[in-house]
Every structure is written in structure tokens, then in C-alpha cells.
Amino acid sequence: MAKKNTKIVAELDTQLMENMFQYSVTVEGLARATGVKVGKLRKAATTPIEGKVYDPNEINYARLAFVMGADIIAGIDWEEAAQPAARTGAKDENILRNAEALEFNVNYYIRGKAVPVQIVYADISTQQFVIKTVTEPKDTEQEPAETLQVVKFSRFLAKAPRLTPRAVGPAIVEE
């Protein structure tokens, strides 16, 4: 069995350590720039260093260099790796985010309720307001039921009120 050349790995880990420190690159940034799975790099980075007491905050650069290899390390664009991750979650523009945008007697669709609610009264001094929910009865002979509820501004805004209804699961098609 052939013996590995540990000198090459030692030089790679020093080069990797210097560049990661100089450009302030995280393991996640390294994964983004190289295409290597982030879980594989995290595992390599947190592997205990031989001959030292384990420290979970210390990066094992030798193991990282071994996992990535010389050809991948040579092709890293360090400026790209240093860039913060782009957020992929799209911001919903329909969600109202401040109390000043709320209006009286307008239907708002909030998370957790299938029917719309309306603001009927607001008290700025206590940061509370009253919302009305109108639910349609299952029986056609009954009248719609109105429910009034006192809610704090912050709690209502946490339920992400919208002017348009939320999408509900897949519709059942009757044939």
C-alpha cells in the first residue's frame, strides 16, 4: 500500500487556514463556493484534531483540506466564498407589517383563521383594538354569527394580516 504524502496536505491546510482567515470565510461560504455539501464540510471541520483536547469551536483545517482536495482548494474564488448567503425566502408583499396601515371595517385574512376579520375599534393608548369575525352558519336558517375579540397590535401583526385570502390546500374536484 502506498504511503500518503502528508507534506502536501499540511501545505494545503495552512493555505486554506490563511485564506479563510484573511477573507473571513465560513464553512457555509466555503461549501457555496466549492459545491461540496455543507454537511460534509461541517463534519470535517469539527473532527477532533489529533494530539489536542477537543474544542468544538476550533476548525480542523487538515481534515477540511483532505476532504476537499488540492484541485478544489486551488479553484476557490475567495471573494465569492466571503459573500453572505442570499436569502431565498420571498417576502410576501401582501402582509401588513405596521399598525398605521390598518384600517377600520376592511377584511383582513390572518394566519390561523379561515374567515376574514375586521377591525371595529382601536385604542392607541393601550395598544389594543377590537376585531370582529363573522362566521357563516352551516344551517341556512340560522343567521351569521359575529364574534368580537380584543387583541394587542403586536399580537395581531404577528398573525400576518393580509388583504387577500391565503391559499388553502389543494381543492377537491368533484366529477
Q: What is the pLDDT of residues 119-167, one digit of tens each?
A: 888 887 888 888 888 777 777 777 778 888 888 888 887 877 888 876 6
pLDDT at 87: 61
Element of type H or E holding 121:
strand 117-123
Indicate the pLDDT class of residue 1, thresholds 50, 70 and 90: very low
Domain parsing of the chain, residue ranges: 6-82, 99-158
Q: Between the CA of residue 153 and those of 53, 109, 124, 158, what are the distances in Å?
A: 51, 15, 9, 9
Spatial contact of 76 and 16, defined as CB atoms under 8 Å apart: no
Q: Between the CA of residue 66 and those of 26, 54, 73, 120, what are the distances in Å?
A: 17, 19, 10, 65
d(CA 127, CA 161): 17
Grid cell digits, residue 131: 376585531
pLDDT at 92: 59
The dihedral built from the CA positions of residue 45, 50, 54 and 57, taken in this order, carries a sign that is: negative
Backbone φ and ψ of 67, nearest 5°: -70, -40
Q: What is the pTM of this model?
A: 0.48
Pure H helices in the chain: 6-23, 27-34, 38-45, 61-68, 70-74, 78-82, 153-158
Spatial contact of 84 and 99, defined as CB atoms under 8 Å apart: no
CB atoms under 10 Å from CB of 132, counted, come to 15
